Chain A
């Protein structure tokens, strides 16, 4: 297992390096997320709904859309130069390849989220205060689950002609449980509610992560191997 983990880290590091070299995709994704936030601000009646009431939903819809954009290109890069085929020729366990791609996608989505969060505080005038560690925690918990499913779907979608359309259609139903949980926990964190009120949701999010990361690691071989 440590060997597989080392391979996964090497694959993730390769992807992150490639990303840092070009930076265009990351920059576009960040700008996209910022634009979604701006659009959201105008897509409400400021006299009827206070920005704070809408804040958790806005944050999570923005994260979800940004993740979708990020995942869409996760495997297109591999396809363009046949890099995935080369990677698969190497005697690397498929589970390790999946974990590597998952870590790279998490790094990408995590970066976008890390930039979006301060912008969100700025635009929506939210006082994060001591809710910040909790928000970071629940963001990680929710993101891992749907990025795992998204990673496997994006590997499938690139093999089709309309990947950009197919990935959201397949992935959105899978985003529902993590998204509902994350919004619920975030709004409780912002309202300074006690931990006991979030425990059910946190358990659900953790269970989702465990189930889908495990399952996706197991079935990834069926996606990439003839």
Chain B
């Protein structure tokens, strides 16, 4: 099968999965807003949790996969790994935007502040910036081989940066205890809430798969066109 044909097929399949995932997400909205009890201490704002946490998990999954496929690319030199890394980074940044907007909207009523320099917040913020930079680098490079090699290097270095940022922010915090913010110490979730969280996570992962599939098809089609233009 030609590359163009498989690109078309991937876009078609990815679109179907994405549509399904968006419908599932609508179901999650219904479930979370209508059929999940309101948490007594935090009030309705606690329900932001059902979007924020799955978005954060999927974003982190996406970013780890970018790093891993970057490492594999440097080893195996397989173009498919590069296309996947590019797709995963872009979708991860989209989920990252959800994570970074819903987080402060939740924190304002619950913690009383939009942002705190907590270890997890700081780490995810810098990871987000790193992958925005990753996409900027890709956009600025035109030679496909160069683009693949450079972004694989950034992905691998980024993966190794994670423990260092975490460790330094953690050390920073333990040595300078912050004023105690109203922070629930991870209460064990009642079953209805846990169920909503898990279903929402599944919807987000499904959305990730659908979007990455479309994006992979786009990468394939664009590469194929670039190749044809070069040949002409």
Contact indicator B160/A215 (Cβ below 8 Å): yes
If over half of B's interface residues share one DSSP class (helix, strand or loop), that class is named, otherwise mixed; here it is: helix
Q: How far, in Å, is B14 (CB) from chain A's closest CB?
A: 29
Q: Is B149 an interface residue (CB 8 A)?
A: yes
Contact indicator A180/B154 (Cβ below 8 Å): no
Contact indicator B133/A180 (Cβ below 8 Å): no
- Which of B74, B158, B161 is most buried by chain A, counting CB atoms within 10 A of its CB? B161
Binary CB contact string for chain B from 130 to 156 against chain A (1 if under 8 A, 0 otherwise): 101110110011000110011011101
A 172-226 contacts with B by CB, 8 A: 172-174, 176-177, 180-181, 184, 200-201, 204, 207-208, 211-212, 215-216, 219, 222-223, 226
Contact indicator A222/B161 (Cβ below 8 Å): no
Q: Return chain A residues, CB-CB under 8 Å to B145.
A: 226
Bound: A181/B171 CA distance, A: 9
- Which of B152, B168, B171 is most buried by chain A, counting CB atoms within 10 A of its CB? B168
Q: Is B30 an interface residue (CB 8 A)?
A: no
Question: A170 with B133: in contact, given A180-B169, A223-B149 (CB under 8 Å)?
Answer: yes
Report the count of interface residues on A (CB-CB < 8 A).
33
Q: Is A162 an interface residue (CB 8 A)?
A: yes
Q: Is A169 an interface residue (CB 8 A)?
A: yes
Q: Please count the residue pairs between chain A and chain B whose beta carbons lie under 8 angstroms apart in the complex.
A: 86
Range of interface residues on chain B? 20 to 34
Q: How far, in Å, is B2 (CB) from chain A's closest CB?
A: 26
Q: Return chain B residues, CB-CB under 8 Å to A176.
A: 126, 165, 168
Bound: A153/B153 CA distance, A: 9
Contact indicator A173/B137 (Cβ below 8 Å): no
Q: Return chain B residues, CB-CB under 8 Å to A215.
A: 156-157, 160
Where the two chains meet, the residues of B that have a C-beta atom closer than 8 Å to any C-beta of A are 74, 126-127, 129-130, 132-134, 136-137, 140-141, 145-146, 149-150, 152-154, 156-158, 160-161, 164-165, 167-169, 171-172, 175
* Contacts A170-B130, A177-B168 supplied; 4 other A-B pairs, CB < 8 Å: A174-B157, A177-B161, A180-B169, A207-B164
